[in-house]
Amino acid sequence: MVGILARTGTPVDRTVHIGMEGMEAIHVDWVAGTPLPGMRVTADEARKLDLTPKLATAALVGLKSRSAVFGVQRAVADYEGEPLMAVLPGVALDELWDVIGAGERAMLGMSVIVAIVSLAGLVSVVLAGLNERRRELAVLRAVGAAPRHMLFLLAIEGALVTAAGVCAGIVATAIAVLLAGPWLQQQFGITLSRSAPGSSQWLLIGGVLAAGWLASLMPGWRAYRLSLADGLSPRA
């Protein structure tokens, strides 16, 4: 063993890098892709053999000029000595991300549905508690609060509840990343970012907060329409 590479957070962390001669030494007692029964070549015996690779199945080629990429790809494909194929890693990765992007969009859609259901639950809870708070609202009206103040108070209440839910979600996500991140990295090579939310995440958070505030306007409008007599008159 020569050394251990620094962690990269990629599948490279789960690989062992050896030279071509080492690969030849590993398979020196193999035939047709399987080891020969009863035949075992020791490390000392392998060092005495000619371990020069006779063929290679793949090679990673780096170019100094990006403009030469397609020319080299065409030259490799047109090579008549061997049936070769040149693959552009960037294009292949883009195709892979297109496949993964469908799952990412599905998860985003599920998140939107969860947010809508949560906001609907917020409206339902506030509306259900509005009848129990009629007297409280009527007292505020009696001491001089205008109907628009009722609308404003309930809108602020809904916005604060939404903000509390967003903060709880951010904290829960940070804790989950902190606890599950090392295990996922070790078992599956998946690296979870511990950085602060980016611009797209902040945009989504702002959208959720705005939607929560707009949703709270419905119970606020209901409170706006309640008259002073509705809360102060005795109910049978």
- pLDDT tens-digit series, residues 139-175: 777 777 777 787 888 888 888 888 998 899 889 988 9
Token pair for 117: 């259901």
The two tokens of residue 164 are 């509390």
Distance between CA atoms of residues 50 and 221, nearest Å: 87
State in Å, rounded, how far the first CA of the chain is from the last one.
87
Residue 117 has pLDDT above 80, yes or no: yes
Phi, psi of 31 (to 5 degrees): -140, 130
Distance, in Å, from the CA atom of 54 to the CA atom of 37, rounded to the nearest integer, reads: 24
How far apart CA 225 and CA 37 sit, in angstroms, is: 89
Q: Using only the alpha carbons of the chain, give its radius of gyration.
A: 33
Q: What's the chain's length in residues?
A: 236
- What DSSP character marks residue 9? S
Give the tens place of pLDDT for each residue, 175-218.
988 888 888 777 776 777 777 777 888 888 888 888 888 888 88
- Domain ranges (residues) in the chain: 11-88, 90-232
The number of angstroms, rounded, from the C-alpha of 182 to the middle of its chain's C-alpha atoms is: 16
Which of 123, 108, 100, 59 has its CA nearest to residue 190? 100
